[in-house]
Structure 1
Amino acid sequence: MKVLIGAVAAVAGLLLVAVMSLVTIVLTDDNAKASETTGGEGLHGVPEEFRTWILKADAACDEPALTPALLAAQLYQESKFKTSKDEATSEAGAMGPAQFLLGTFATWGRDDDGNGETSLWDIGDAVMAQGRMMCSLLKTAKNSGINDDIRRLALAGYNAGWGRVIEFGGVPPEDWSKGETYHYVEIIMSTMHRYEGPALLEVSGSGFGAKALRRASTQLGTPYSYGGGSPAGPSTGSCDGTNGYLNGRCSASVTAGYDCSSLVQYAYWPTTHLPRTAAAQYGATSNHPVARSQLKPGDLLFWSHGSSSSIYHVAIYAGDGNVLHAPRTGRDVSIAPLTSAMPEKDYAGATRP
């Protein structure tokens, strides 16, 4: 990105209104094609230190046109995933892996990696800012009335400024500014497919439930941490004399992760602000019960020790008889059959947020 974006900020408040709809869930292996289900929700071929943040940036955006592959191809074109000042500083003064100017980063940057500093050189901060800006640009493009792929328009806005897109009625032509923006868009659009790949859980569809499940799926493999996790992401937890211990030691206090209810809270945030504990989440959603035969992806499932006042576990329905959950200390966020995720006799029912 070479220039400060001004016009986009005026539409940053636009909301994409979605309704719960039919969703298709596919569990895949490494040889499956992402295009068969999500059209690019998976990701491969990027440095591991970028992968988690790209998936988080995608999950944080409610615009379906934003995909991990689009973000990855854009990052490669911007900096080739470089993070040093020598390799990731342009002649125009754009800096960092996502090539932000200081003024633009001031609008979109946050301390997403939680290190106490908001920096365009931090991978997490840079990629999440890139995702926020692209999400806003895609929504602007969708509402612009310009007859072109909104991904092309958003990329042009990122590189040249949305004002130039308005000026030219689309992507600036090849004869403008030595073709910089024109070729930027063409290269990214033609190389996205290199980064598309299957994920452990691929979610096709729209609506709050699909979005929550898709967001939660980005945390697969994250450790369980009793008391840990929040809408901002994984964090260390604590032990209470009974929970959080592993091999006699307080594992939660040194493990950044989620417990069952913080994962659910993270999944539905910021669209739905669920309370923190499993029992409270049941109380907040119990007015929308769902029969086991009518479960849809994104529904919440609860287990208890005999009554609604003793709810002890919550999971997210992932389709095909499976759930996505943070099971217990020593385990990771994972997919498991509903029938064996927790003791069958403890199943208390399901709700739809």
Structure 2
Amino acid sequence: MKKVLAAGAMLLALLLGGIGAALAMLATAGAAEADHMSVNDVPEAYRSWLVRAARDCRDPGLTPALLAAQLFEESGFRADARSPAGAEGPAQFMPSTWATWGRDDDASGSASPYEIGDAVMAQGRLMCSLLRQARSSGIPDDSRRLALAGYNAGWAAVEGSRGVPPFGETQRYVADIMGNLVRFGGTGLMSEIIGSGAGPDAARRAATQVGVPYSYGGGSPAGPGLGHCDGEDGFQAGRCQADTTVGWDCSALVQYAYWPARQLPRTAAEQYSATADRPVARDGLRTGDLLFWRHADGHVYHVALYRGDGRMISAPKTGDVVKETPIADMPAADFVGATRP
């Protein structure tokens, strides 16, 4: 399979932009992990710890950008921060919570919520645990939003509300952090998407969903949701994953990204039919354009948002997550065309 994709990479790159585009695409094809683990607009003392905390978690939803946006909300990156309620350090740990999650990660001889390394690593461990609880809870919302709510209000409040609790502080906390992901993201999906209009706006909205699981049939204009299994779709290793996974399939992510400015239909095939009268030439692609692939029988099976620079944002398949990848990761022979909603 990798050989097939690699062969298609050069062909589609040449079609999209010539030899220069092909070389650029090949240069970036192996950079997805680096992009996922990069971070912007953060004090230097925090950078390596943010990357380490995210890597140690091994959950695709916990990125350095998410941790950075959370730290900015908690303390504005002030290591000496202390709240009136007694929360301490840049990650604002209460002493009782610190007793559970705090360690001497920076090998200074003591574990302190005021030491950047200790605080960020403890923040990562707590968020990692909350993300696991969110994914297994069955609550139909973005696991990152639920984990952030749990960090702020306690997981019991999330479970009791079956979602982000209706507390003004918690609602603002979650919205502010999710809204700042693009600011703190690195060179890949989470980098700032320039431009105005429906296309760039849709790409920015899709970018907020990076790391959310793929779930066949899952998602709507309201957000990620439980999927379902249909024939062979939604299964992994012979087991239905979609009906217990809150997330997105490819067309639901696109529908969500454009809603309500462009109210696209639900499936990839329907979206192609609805926009096919506005085709886009390969050398005229703009941010937010829709990219479609189909099987030999003509059925359109996948849609993605064009990101720019030969890359796309999409929800790929069961077992994967929303992410940015080179367009060339998809089979060139299946590419049917691009449209502009």
Q: TM-score range by the shorter chain?
A: 0.5 to 0.7
Q: Is the 8 A contact 1:83 1:97 kept in 2?
A: no
| 3-state SS in 2 of match to 1:224 | coil
Shift of 1:336: 2.5
2:340 matches 1:344:
no
Paired with 2:38 and 2:224, the residues of 1 have a C-alpha distance of 29
TM-score normalised to structure 2 length? 0.53
Aligned amino acid, residue 173 of structure 2:
V
Paired with 1:275 and 1:114, the residues of 2 have a C-alpha distance of 31
RMSD of aligned Cα (Å): 4.4
Encode CA deviations 1:87-108: one digit per residue, 9 max, x unaligned.
Answer: 9xxxxxxxx9999xxxxxxxxx
2:328 matches 1:333:
no
Shift of 1:352: 0.7
Aligned amino acid, residue 166 of structure 2:
S
Q: Is the 8 A contact 1:224 1:333 kept in 2?
A: yes
**Cα separation, partners in 2 of 1:122 and 1:236, compared to 1, 3 Å:** farther
Shift of 1:231: 2.1
Q: Is the 8 A contact 2:228 2:242 kept in 1?
A: yes
Aligned amino acid, residue 320 of structure 2:
R
Aligned amino acid, residue 76 of structure 1:
S
Paired with 1:221 and 1:258, the residues of 2 have a C-alpha distance of 10
Paired with 1:328 and 1:122, the residues of 2 have a C-alpha distance of 36
Question: Which residue is 1:119 aligned to?
Answer: 166
Aligned amino acid, residue 253 of structure 1:
D
Encode CA deviations 1:167-217: one digit per residue, 9 max, x unaligned.
Answer: xxxxxxxxxxxxxxxxxxxxxxxxxxxx84525322332222112112212
Between Structure 1 and Structure 2, the one with more helix by share is 2
Paired with 1:83 and 1:231, the residues of 2 have a C-alpha distance of 35
**Cα separation, partners in 2 of 1:221 and 1:73, compared to 1, 3 Å:** closer
Paired with 2:195 and 2:286, the residues of 1 have a C-alpha distance of 12
**Cα separation, partners in 2 of 1:121 and 1:347, compared to 1, 3 Å:** same
Identity percentage over the alignment? 42
Shift of 1:238: 0.4
Question: Which residue is 2:310 aligned to?
Answer: 321
Q: Is the 8 A contact 1:301 1:317 kept in 2?
A: yes
Question: Which residue is 1:261 aligned to?
Answer: 251
TM-score normalised to structure 1 length? 0.51
**Cα separation, partners in 2 of 1:72 and 1:284, compared to 1, 3 Å:** farther
**Cα separation, partners in 2 of 1:115 and 1:32, compared to 1, 3 Å:** closer
Q: Is the 8 A contact 2:193 2:203 kept in 1?
A: no
Aligned amino acid, residue 172 of structure 2:
A
Mind listing any 5+ residue stretches in structure 1 that lack a counterpart? Answer: 1-25, 36-41, 57-67, 88-95, 100-110, 136-194
Aligned amino acid, residue 192 of structure 2:
V
Paired with 1:337 and 1:97, the residues of 2 have a C-alpha distance of 34
Paired with 1:315 and 1:115, the residues of 2 have a C-alpha distance of 31
Paired with 1:296 and 1:215, the residues of 2 have a C-alpha distance of 16
Pairs aligned (count): 228
| 3-state SS in 2 of match to 1:328 | coil
2:209 matches 1:219:
yes
Encode CA deviations 1:133-153: one digit per residue, 9 max, x unaligned.
Answer: x99xxxxxxxxxxxxxxxxxx
| 3-state SS in 2 of match to 1:204 | coil
Question: Which residue is 1:62 aligned to?
Answer: none
Paired with 2:192 and 2:245, the residues of 1 have a C-alpha distance of 28
2:263 matches 1:273:
yes
Encode CA deviations 1:263-309: one digit per residue, 9 max, x unaligned.
Answer: 1112112322211111111122222110111111111011122476x
Question: Which residue is 1:241 aligned to?
Answer: 231
